[in-house]
Chains A and B, each alone.
Chain A
C-alpha cells in the first residue's frame, strides 16, 4: 500500500530522516519503495555513507578500507534518489514550522520526520576531564585512531565493558593484544544480568585471556593520565589506590540516546524519545526508530529500549510503513541473553546481524 502519491497538483511529500544508521537507512529504503515520488533526505553528522559498524573490530585483524564496510554504494543513493546530507549536525527541531535546524543555520522543511539518531557512548561524569586521553570506538575514524595508537601486542584498558567493547575485546585477544577489563555496572550492557550470571561470564572472560579488575572493589576510576617515559601511553588511576597502564584506554559504558536537539520540540522524551509501537511520537508528524527511542511495552507498562541489529532494522521498516500511511506495529525480533559458543567463549544475540 502506498499512501502518498504526488499528482501534478500535489507537491511530493518531504520525508526527512535524522540519522544515517541501520534504522534511518532501512526507513529510507522503505519510504522510497512505498512512495516513489517522495523526497527522501537523510541528515547525518557522519562524513561517510552508511557503513556496518558491527564490522569495525575486524579492522584490527586485516586492513579494511572504509569502502569495504559500506552497506550501500554511492550509486545506490543516486539510483534511489535518497539525498544524504553528511557532516552536518541537527541542532533543533521546530515542530510548529516542521523544520529541522542544522548547525550551519539552514532549515530543512519536512512533512514527516523520522528521528533515528541512535545513541552515543556514555561517559561517567568523573571522566569528562580525561576525555582527550580516552579513545572512543563509534566510528570508522575512531577505530582507525585506536589501530594507529595500539602497538603490536599492545595493551588496551577497557572501562566498563559493554557488549560493543567485548566484541572488540575478543578480536584484540585473537591478535595477541592484552585486554584489561575494569568492570562497572554497565559491563555486559545492554544485557541485564543477575550477579550470578555476571560472575559466570566474568570468569568466561578470564578464561578467554582477559585481565579482569573489579572496578567496584578498586573504588572506581578517578583519573586517566598520560603514561610516563618507558611505560605505556596511558595510566588509569583507581580511587582506592593502585593503577593500571595501557597503550589505549577505551570507555565502553553503554549508549545514551542522542536526543538533545529534540529538547524544545514538544516531543515527549524520557531518556529516549517516547513512541508507541507504531513508532509515532506525540507529534503526528514525527516518528522515532532505533536506539534513540523508547517503545511502549504493553506487557511491562513502561517505555523500554530494544537494542540489536534486527530490532533496529525492523523499527526502520515499521516507521517507513507508518510514515506513508500504514498501520504496523513493532514486535521484538531479537532478544536473548549471554551464552557461550562452541569454544566456551562468550556469545550474544546482540552480536548477530545479517
Chain B
C-alpha cells in the first residue's frame, strides 16, 4: 500500500482564520498518528488584509521539507489565492467559496484561474457556516470539515483539537466551531472524491517514544525547559519572540525567571551576568538584535562565561523583511563580534534538531565556558513538525561542567588556568577560596589584566583550542552524511533549514538514478574540517544551496578547505524550492565531469 504523502495548503486573508485552520489540521492529523511538517506565511502587519498561507504536509514517515506543489489547495480569499493556484499538482484539488457574500469583479474569482489539470470543488462555505453556526466566521472550520470528510479522515481528532483550541473562549465558541466543522464534514463526505489523494491507515505507534507537534521555536523552548534553564532575558523581535513568550509561561511554573529587558544589549548583558553567577541563562533574538549583542558576546568570550543566544534569522540587512525567511546572518554569527571572538555556532536543520541543539547548547556553553549561538531562521522557527521524544527523558547532561568544589586551604584558584584542553576550572562568585576577577580586558590566569604579548597569544590559543573539543561533544551530531555511500556524482553540502530541501532533492535525484549524497553541517564553529573534507573528496561536484545572496556558507567552506563548490544562493524570502535544488543536481550530474575538468 502506498504511504501517505499529502500536502494541504490553505490561503486566505488575515482575519479569515487561515493560520488557525492550518494549526487545527496539523494537530489533528498528528494526533491521528501521521507525521507532519508545516509552515505558515503571514503578513508583517499584526492585523490587516495581508496574505496568509498555511501549508501542511502529512506523511507516514517524517518528511524533511514541504513539497512545491500541494495536493489540496484551499482559497478562503481569492485575491490572495489566485497567484498561488499553480502550486497545485496535476489532478490536485482546488477548494473555493462558491457563494461569496458580495459581487465579484470579472476575472477576480478563482474558478476562472484553475488549471484544466486540477479538480475544482466549489463549496458554499459561507452558507454552510451561517446555517450551522449562525454566522459566516467559521468558514475556516467548514473547510477543514470538508477536507476531512472528502479525504476520509476521522472527525474525532479534529473535534478534540477544536475544543482544546477554543476552550478558553467558552463552550459556546467551542460548539459553534464544532458545528461548522460538522457541516463541512457532512458536505465533504457526501462529495464524490475525484482526485487521487488517499490517506493510508497507520500502524500501531512505537511504545518507547512519544510524538509531539512542535514549531521550531516551541522546540527551542522545550529544549530550554528540559535542560533546566534557570533564567531568560529577552527583547521581542520577529521571528524569535515566541521563544520568549513560551518561556514566559513555562519558566515561572518551575520557579525560574524571565525578564523582558529594555533592549537586546541588556538582554545579552544580563545573560552574561547570570552565567557568571552560575545560573543557566539564555536570550533569543534575530539579526538586528544580534548586531546589538555583538559587543557583549565578545565580553562573554573574553570572560569565558557560559551563555546561549538563539538567533532566528529573517530577511536582512537592517529591519529587512521581518516576516520572510533567510539564512544571511551566518557571517554575523561567526564573525560579528570584534576581536578574535571565537565561540560556538550550531545550526539545527529541523524542528527535532531545534530541541536537541537547544539542550546541547547549554551543555556546550558550560563545558567550554563560552557563548553558544544557536542559529535558526524564520522557516525553522515557525514551521511545525512532529517530533519524536524519548519517553525515557531528556537526552541532556545537566552536569556538563559543574562549578568546581571548594578549594583547600592554601590552594590558589586560577580562573583562567592554561590547561591541556584549554578548559579552566569554573567557579562562581561566593565559592570559598575561589575569589576571582572577570574582565573584558585581556588577562592572566588569575583574571588580572595583562597585555603581555605571550599571555595574549596563550589566552587566544586557549580560547580557540578549547572549542575544538566541541567537535567531539558527546551525543551531538556535528555533521552527518546521507544518501549513497562512496563516490557520487553530486554532493549536497548544506546547513540550517535548507538541509530538509536538500535531502528531499537528494531522494528525488536518487530515484532518477543520479548517484547523490548530502551532508548536513550542524556545527559551523568550530568547523568540522575532516568530515566535510572527506565528503567533498567523494563527490565529483559539490553543490551548496543556501538562502542568502552571497553564499556565506560556501565562502566558509571554500575558505577553510580551499576546494571549489557550486553555489546555489537565493534570497526568495521563502524556503529554497526542492525543485530548484533538484534542477541544479540534474544539471551538474549531466556535466559533472566537465565541471571538474574546467
Contact = CB atoms under 8 A, between A and B. Distances in A.
Interface of A: 41, 47-49, 66, 74-75, 77-78, 83-88, 102-109, 140-141, 144-145
A220 B109 CA distance: 46
Interface centre among B97, B103, B192 (most CB of A within 10 A): B192
Please list the 9 inter-chain residue pairs (A to B) with the smallest Cβ-Cβ separation, ordered nearest first: A74-B117, A141-B192, A74-B116, A106-B104, A77-B116, A87-B120, A87-B122, A105-B103, A106-B109
B146 to A, nearest CB: 14
A66 B103 CA distance: 34
A299 to B, nearest CB: 41
A74 B100 contact: no
Contacts of A103: 98-99
Given A85-B112, A88-B111, A47 B106 contact: no
Contact of A104 (B97, B192, B194): B97
A140 B119 CA distance: 14
B116 A107 contact: no
Given A83-B112, A85-B111, A47 B121 contact: yes
B192 A144 contact: yes
A74 B90 contact: yes
B109 A104 contact: yes
B105 interface: yes
Contact of B111 (A66, A75, A77, A86): A86
Contact of B100 (A85, A105, A107): A105
Nearest to A144: B192
Nearest to B108: A106
Interface string B67-107: 00000000000000000000000100000011110111110
Contacts of B100: 104-105
15 contacts: A41-B112, A47-B121, A86-B114, A87-B111, A88-B109, A88-B111, A102-B111, A104-B104, A105-B100, A105-B104, A106-B103, A106-B111, A108-B106, A141-B192, A144-B192
Interface majority SS on A: helix, strand, loop or mixed? mixed
A109 B105 CA distance: 11
Contacts of B108: 106
B115 interface: yes
Contacts of B103: 105-106
Contacts of B192: 140-141, 144-145
Contact of A87 (B99, B102, B121): B121
Contact of A74 (B102, B104, B115): B115
B91 to A, nearest CB: 8
A84 B113 CA distance: 9
Contacts, number: 68
Contact of B106 (A49, A106, A140): A106
B88 to A, nearest CB: 12
Contacts of B112: 41, 83, 85, 106, 108
A150 B122 CA distance: 28
Contacts of B106: 106-109
A140 B193 CA distance: 11
B102 A104 contact: no
Nearest to B97: A104
A244 to B, nearest CB: 28
A88 B105 contact: no
A104 B99 contact: yes
Interface majority SS on B: helix, strand, loop or mixed? loop
Contacts of A141: 192, 194
Nearest to B103: A105
Nearest to B115: A74
Nearest to A108: B106
A342 B183 CA distance: 53
Contacts of A48: 119, 194
B98 A104 contact: yes
A104 B111 contact: yes
Interface in B113-159: 114-117, 119-122
Contacts of B97: 104
Contacts of B98: 87-88, 103-104
Contact of A66 (B99, B120, B121, B194): B194
Given A74-B90, A74-B115, A83-B112, 5 more contacts: A48-B119, A78-B116, A87-B121, A105-B102, A108-B106
Contacts of B117: 74-75
Contacts of A49: 116
A326 to B, nearest CB: 27
B95 to A, nearest CB: 10
A108 B111 CA distance: 12
A74 B194 CA distance: 15
Contacts of B121: 47, 87
Contacts of A75: 116-117
A86 B194 contact: no
Contacts of B114: 85-86
Contacts of A41: 112
A66 B194 CA distance: 8
B316 to A, nearest CB: 40
Interface centre among B90, B104, B111, B121 (most CB of A within 10 A): B111
A141 to B, nearest CB: 4
B149 to A, nearest CB: 15
Contacts of A78: 115-116
Nearest to A65: B196
Contacts of B99: 103-104
A183 to B, nearest CB: 31
A41 B111 CA distance: 12
Contacts of A86: 111, 114, 120
A81 to B, nearest CB: 11
B151 to A, nearest CB: 16
Nearest to B119: A47
A50 to B, nearest CB: 10
B62 to A, nearest CB: 31
Contacts of B104: 104-106
Contacts of A77: 116
B105 A106 contact: yes
A70 B404 CA distance: 78
Contacts of B109: 88, 102, 104, 106
A296 B108 CA distance: 39
Contacts of B102: 105
Contacts of A66: 194
A88 B114 CA distance: 12
A75 B90 CA distance: 11
